[in-house]
Amino acid sequence: MFYFFISLFLLIGGYAVISRMAAKTFGADDNIATPVIRLADGVDFVEMPKWRIFFIQFLNIAGLGPIYGAISGALFGPIAFVWIVFGGLLIGGMHDYFSAMISLRDNGATFAQITGKYLGRPILIIMRIFTLILLILLATVFIKGPAHILSLRLSSYPLLSLPAFWISIIFGYVMIATLFPIDKVIGRITPVLGIAFILMPIALLVILITKNQAAYLPPFSIENFHFNPAIRIWPMLFITIACGAVSGFHATQSPLMARCIKKEGDARHIFYGAMIAESTVALIWAAAAMTFTGSIEGFSHIMAENGSNPAIIVMAISESWLGQLGVLLAILSVVIAPITSADTALRSARLTLAEACKLPQQHLKFRLILATPLFLITLIMLHVDFDKIWRYFAFFNQLLATMTLWTIACYFKQQYKTIAWWPVSAAIFMTSVVISYILYAPEGLHQTIHISVIIGFFAAFITTILFLFHPFHKNITC
């Protein structure tokens, strides 16, 4: 059980040290005027207090990932803690912080725009298309998911039991949040919801400590505890737990808040801090999942019987540990988190289109021009069954993280004329993960594990060689 508390200590203590290293590596400078100082427009470039920006960023990136992903990842056993801690500290926090800082230095540009600047125009076009698809998909699923949860929990009331009723309400809110100035809707509502979201993991942590529930954790081992032996630790664990370790979706969200920061020095607490807060939430949920039945075997049995559905575990833990209050907090968690990710997902999509079309967003009519097709596409996709497509989302999410890490490496190579081995090492690692995964996974090419791993490592090696020996260019791509 001690490794759980050691993991918590490493996350908090590691953040204090490693986030400072990141700020020093990048060269954060409070004397440099941030985009909100130079480009304030009252819509997207709006100065907000640091604490408010932190909670918005935290809830934007959290979604259901640190809950559902952590529970699914807990099936692998204690090794999941290693990935959450070191993934969050060394890869995820750096990924989020550097992507935000690059956006700060580039007038609050979206990361699709930044990727194109440092990896080339063909990549820019691909990234814009890829990012738009990803954001619309995410918004769609995060509108449908909470609507179905609310309709099931309120099934005794005729009107409230209709998913369409809740979809209409949630979608209406998402439309407003996408169109209106960021400080008028998101800036006021999300911080309050963020505080509510944090209450659940805090309550679980209290139970783990005061009821000695953490004593039921299995002895630390790198053994794979998964009930399906075909689901191997490499590469499956590193795709299963994304939010809480490293997630490409975060790179689409960081520029939103980078446009609201007054000083570069605040970015460390906001972006690195929000990532570590998310890792802490994931760590607590993983520990709760492994222990709530008294053994990891009991937890695995429930997951196997229920199609590995994390929602079953969320409700079971909440009710058995916290009673009706726990059920209320659980509903708030699995409803609030995705909705606040859906609104900023479509907002990011609007800004991505605005950059591509070079259309200013100060006036509502221009925001409507770009947002209307996004709303229509999302409405159409709300009628589609996304179960199969959603299985690919985890892969595309980590593929985006990999591309973000290579972009960060190229930024340092071009701007500082140096090889920044921190992002390079993370990019190499994630390249081998995503290539191995898509080759091995059932929803991928379903190759043998040996072939998948060998090709994954070879792809990482070739990508590294291309990066290292690509010549420097001035005002061209890396």
Please write the tens of the pLDDT for every residue from 83-111: 999 999 999 999 999 999 999 999 999 98
CB 250 within 8 Å of CB 95: yes
For the stretch 411-457, pLDDT in tens is: 999 998 899 999 999 999 999 999 999 999 988 999 999 999 999 99
Separation in Å, CA 255 to CA 88, 240, 417 = 19, 25, 24
**Residue-range domain boundaries for the chain:** 2-393
CB-based contacts of 235: which residues, under 8 Å, 6+ apart? 432, 433, 434, 436, 437, 440, 452, 453, 456
Give one DSSP letter per residue of 114-136, joined into a string. HHHHHH-HHHHHHHHHHHHHHHH
Q: Which residue has the higher pLDDT, 474 or 193?
A: 193
The pair of three-digit structure tokens given for residue 58, joined into one six-digit string: 């935290």
The C-alpha atoms of residue 392 and residue 409 are separated, in whole angstroms, by 26
Confirm if 203 and 317 have CB atoms less than 8 A apart: no
pLDDT of 106 reads: 95
Q: Is the torsion defined by CA of 281, 104, 125, 466 positive or negative?
A: negative
Question: Is residue 216 pLDDT above 60, yes or no?
Answer: yes
- Out of 152-166, 228-242, 254-268, 463-477, which region has the weakest mean confidence (pLDDT)? 463-477
Question: pLDDT tens digits for 49-76?
Answer: 999 999 999 998 987 889 989 999 999 9
Nearest to 55 by CA among 201, 176, 197: 197
CA distances from 247 to 84, 134, 378 (A): 12, 13, 22
Count of all residues that appear for the chain in the document: 478
% of the chain at pLDDT higher than 70: 97
Residue 176: is its pLDDT beyond 50?
Answer: yes
Residue 8 has pLDDT above 80, yes or no: yes
- CB count within 10 Å of CB 19 equals 22
Q: Band of the pLDDT at 311, cuts 50, 70, 90?
A: confident
Question: Topology of domain 2-393, per CATH?
Answer: Amino acid/polyamine transporter I (1.20.1740)
Q: pLDDT category, 385, cuts 50, 70, 90?
A: low
| Rounded Cα–Cα distance for residues 220 and 3 (Å) | 7
| Average pLDDT along the chain | 91
List pLDDT tens digits, range 114-171: 998 888 888 889 889 988 988 998 898 889 888 887 887 788 888 888 989 999 999 9
Using pLDDT thresholds of 50, 70 and 90, give the confidence band for residue 386.
low
Please, are residues 448 and 88 in contact by the beta-carbon 8 Å criterion?
A: no
Task: Return the structure tokens found at 119.
Answer: 């990896």
Residues 358-382, mean pLDDT to the nearest whole number: 93
Q: Which of 30-34, 298-302, 314-318, 463-467 has the lowest mean pLDDT?
A: 314-318
- pLDDT value of position 477: 44
Q: Is the pLDDT of residue 478 over 50?
A: no
* Residue carrying structure tokens 């299963």: 240
| Residues 456, 459, 461: CA angle, nearest 5 degrees | 110
The pTM score is 0.92
Compute CA distances 426 → 239, 241, 315, whole Å.
Answer: 14, 16, 35
